[in-house]
Chains A and B, each alone.
Chain A
């Protein structure tokens, strides 16, 4: 099982590198912000589901709190 996980991880990594090498400079340049937007949208959806009573401002505030937390962790 351990070997299988290592093997899968290796193939996943090689696929990621292959994909990155095939991406245009344009796509790579746009990716950081687009992924950030996607992540924020998903996170906001999670906050809204957990706190249906929260106002838009409160949801944004919670999102900002989580982003600051991420900064400390990663």
Chain B
């Protein structure tokens, strides 16, 4: 069983049990941007303490809960790690926090088709950019910045920039946003000159 199949089984169980969730991290940036390899899938899940304790009942057979519960480092959100049996791939579950942007992006999440007849919940492209820049700022990981730029490049200029600016101001990431826009502008300029054409 692949990591993606395990992920889809897990979110199908969440849907069946009425547990609100969204797939974030590199799966969301791969969806809107340029795919890159990832060794984990990240989910934000809205569960109360009781539901969080009963999490194991929602896990498909091929997933096991790592014993030690932890906290994500940028926003100190509660986190559980699920291991895909027989694989190094893992799924990380983050509890929906009280952070303003975490709440907002969760409210704005969308159902998107990923396979015929299979829809999953994902944040908007704007929220992926905002969160990736926040992580780039907080965790100093170049891959988060590259993911944000890739989403901007693939989505083109037609993003809700006032919304992105608002949250980047709140997070102190306006400088990073300006840098990311400068990198993405190579593609936007090519789009304006007739699209991203092949080399002659």
Contacts and interface: CB of A to CB of B under 8 A. Distances in A.
B33 A11 contact: no
B124 interface: no
Tier of interface size on chain A: 20 to 34
A35 B112 contact: no
Contacts of A39: 37
Main SS at interface, chain A: helix
B135 interface: no
A33 B114 contact: no
B4 A40 contact: no
Interface string B112-135: 111110000000000000000000
Contacts of B114: 25-26, 29
Contacts of B33: 20
Contacts of A29: 4, 27, 30-31, 114-115
A20 B88 contact: no
B38 to A, nearest CB: 4
A20 B3 contact: no
A17 interface: yes
14 contacts: A11-B199, A13-B186, A14-B186, A14-B190, A20-B154, A25-B31, A28-B35, A29-B4, A30-B4, A31-B36, A33-B38, A36-B3, A67-B88, A74-B141
Interface of A: 10-11, 13-18, 20-21, 23, 25-40, 63-64, 67, 74
Question: What 7 pairs between A and B have smallest CB-CB spacing?
Answer: A35-B37, A31-B35, A32-B38, A33-B3, A14-B196, A18-B196, A29-B114
Given A23-B35, A25-B112, A63-B88, 19 more contacts: A10-B186, A11-B199, A15-B198, A16-B34, A17-B34, A17-B154, A17-B187, A18-B196, A20-B154, A28-B30, A29-B31, A29-B114, A29-B115, A32-B27, A32-B38, A35-B35, A36-B38, A37-B2, A74-B142
